[in-house]
Structure 1
């Protein structure tokens, strides 16, 4: 397993469900990132589509080894 991994909140899940998925895989969130997602409309300005939310997590075991 990687020591760090990014997890994206999927369209059909809540933030809590994403955090639970991280925990089940053995990761603890250390950073939250958000970025806007735009769609290009032909001949017009980009249109906001959604806000993409991602978490960066570290392996829980690797944090305990440092302590």
Structure 2
């Protein structure tokens, strides 16, 4: 088992579900990373980026 592992919150999963999954695999969260997700759309000949959501990833380390 590696000392660090990233856990992404899946589309139909709550943050609590992800943290429970981490714990069941023997990891404890040490960092939360959020990245915005954008979609490109064209309006009046201009390309704009519209926010459509976010990606949440937890970095976990092995419990000791």
Place the TM-score, normalised by the shorter chain, in its bin. Answer: 0.7 to 0.9
The structure carrying a bigger helix percent of its residues is: 1
How many residue pairs get aligned? The number is 61
Aligned to 1:3: 3
Aligned to 2:48: 45
The structure carrying a bigger strand percent of its residues is: 2
| Structure 2: 5+ residue stretches without partners | none
TM-score (ref. length: structure 2): 0.86
TM-score (ref. length: structure 1): 0.82
CA RMSD of aligned residues (A): 1.1
